[in-house]
Structure 1
Amino acid sequence: MLELDDVLAAEPRVRETSRHTPIEYTHTFSDMTGAEVHLKMENFQRTGSFKIRGATNRIATLSEEEKAAGVVTASAGNHAQGVALAATRSGVDAKIVMPEYAPISKIKATQSYGAAVVLHGADYDEAAEKAHELEREEGRTYVHAFDDEMVMAGQGTIGLEILEDLPEVETVVVPIGGGGLISGIATAIKAQSPDTRVIGVQAEGASSVAQSLTKGHRVELDRVDTIADGIAVRGPGTLTYEVIKERVDEVVTVSDPEIAMALTYVLERGKTLVEGAGAAPLAALLFDKFDYEEGEVIVPAMCGGNIDLNMLTTVIMRGLVATGRYVKIRTVLRDRPGSLEDLLHVISEKKANIYAIQHDRTSRQIGMADTEVEVDLETRGRDHIDELLEAIRDAGYEVEVLV
């Protein structure tokens, strides 16, 4: 099993490509939770995520023959970029298989770091099958995204940095996809600070580790469904699962709306950008997915910041809906002059801002003399929405909340 010595040995290799990322105390999230919250800003890492650490350590430990033959891997995006940069820096040819629906930003970034990209499959696991085919056909070394001790050891250098910068840390919260990151961090932390808790977080739509621990054996999901593409993995690795069982205190899950809200909070209040997987640890803290004491020193690991702009738009909108900052309503008006003005007057009185209005006279669900109206509104929270809906209904309108 992976041990502290493996992580310590990885540290000087990892320094060749990676940054020692900062830990930043946050008044905002400390006030919101009652804990003393320090964010490990791994989203500031080179390539935008922690994956450069494990990739660097694995490629640095290849034999000369393996380096000459080149490497291949599969990734949803972050591991791809890490392997691409680490391989290019070492003069090793790299071929990366990514899912066909991988964010275009991650595909282009991987190519810019010097790797050849092959698009195949609907998710990470199908991409991995193709990568193993290329491994056999071309004699390349497969650099696993998580189930490799050298990769896990490289990721564990984050744990070394956390203890160095914040030795009083009481709880570290880490996202889990396949388990490589949390295996490395838990190994580094538990060996040096046994009383520090390590808590893993998964998306509800990709909760293979949580289910595995409940059932007592590794579980492979048939499919995954989450906005957090960086942790959208069907099952934990064989090696990582054993480390998680022994060294991780608890594994919890968060929903996509909770991830979206956390990401929105980080963007608006923390003035920084993370991807869905990076927001998951903060979501677990904000939505009380695990117990903690007042004033407890907690470090959520913000593991990456590589989010596709189209996905960011969707996530922000979900976050606004979940926090009551945006609502879409539907009602039916008499199709005559002044009807819309009357409705808008009620909305204006309640200080809601209008984004958009859609009219539809053709719906078969309304009378011939009526028109269906949908209104997109900017609001100031749940209480404001409740007041607005009450005012509209008091004015005689039947109103339906669409979003």
Structure 2
Amino acid sequence: MDWGLNGEYPGPGRDTSFTNYEDGAVEVVALDQDNLAQYDTQQRTLRADPVAAFKQITDIDLRDAFGADRISNVAYYAFAGGVRPPFIAVSDMVQGVGPFVIYGGLAIVMFRRFYRTNIAEPLGELAVAAERIGSQDLDFEIEPVRGRELARLGATLDAMRAELLRAQRHLWHSSESRRQLNAAFAHDLRTPITVLRGTAELARMRVDAGKQVTSEQVERLQAQVARLESYANAMSGVCKLEDRAVNRAPLALREAEDELRRHAREVVAARAPELAVEVRSVEGMDGVSATAAALLLDMSLVEEVLDNLLSNACGHARARVVVELGVGDNGDSRRLIVRVRDDGDGFSPEALHRACDAFYSENKSAEHFGLGLNVSSVLAELHGGDIELANGPCGGACVTATFECGCKAPGENLPA
């Protein structure tokens, strides 16, 4: 293809489909490869010699300056027909495909880096945590991971782990308490079983010798059987205390006081008639007001706790048992206070810490099995209160039971 400044090419090979722009001195001519030399010769003869004109004006010969083979007033492009060389085709393909390969490779590398950093690693950490949870290894914390969604998933998984850990610890404590309870039960059964075995062997020896069993031996057998039966019933009651329902009912404060006063006197008279009993309303910090609102109490539960406290006091008192009743302040609610004192030896330092444990007793040969204070503690907690153990200022034991008994009336002021 020739871009000429002037002239015509009338010879063969002219493609008449191209336009000749004479005014602009631009001519576009299509040539065949065979006519290229003829076209070049003709174009050189038809056109003015700019080199001679330049020499005439400037007295500079461009042929001498640049070389005769470097001077031409004709510029053209010739496309050779036939098959292009393979390396050119490969070069063109590389130029066309290369950017896609390069940018595609970079995209893959960046995606792999992103996946490894923001997806694979967090998912790996969560997978390890899930495996530990599945194997019941819950004593750890799931650290925050990358990514908003994965972080939320990790937080949810950690909350589930914490809840499972809490439930597992609660179950473990329950199982441990039950195991200790069963161990104490089995341990304390040894004494009555040993007595039964010895008495039965003596009775058999008398029978083998042709003698009759004495009434004393029969009474001893009956006493031990009764003791075992009582112990079994006590054990059954302890196992079911945690599920006991609290049935509260409104009761006038003065009526509740009178009922507890009467019940305390009856229990002490039945347990230890030789002891003096005093029931009084505590004034000052725990005063009872006759005009106060009704109490919400499960009286059967309160009386059961009072029975246990009085039974414990009757077993240790020398001459006197004192019962104090009162109502105190417990924040927005009220609490019934039942305190039992005796004039015995009081609690030992160990008993002050362990007397509420199931089957704890400083004297294993005693009639009771160390269940009274444990039962009282459980029942008081069911009623929203607790049990406190102390020794009196003048000696003797002092056990205080409290029971949550409803909200205070507007304007009601109670001692703390």
Q: Larger Cα Rg: Structure 1 or Structure 2?
A: 2
Common fold by TM > 0.5: no
Of Structure 1 and Structure 2, the greater helix share is in: 2
Greater RCO (CA < 8 Å, at least 6 residues apart): 1
TM-score tier by shorter-chain length is under 0.3
TM-score by length of 2: 0.19
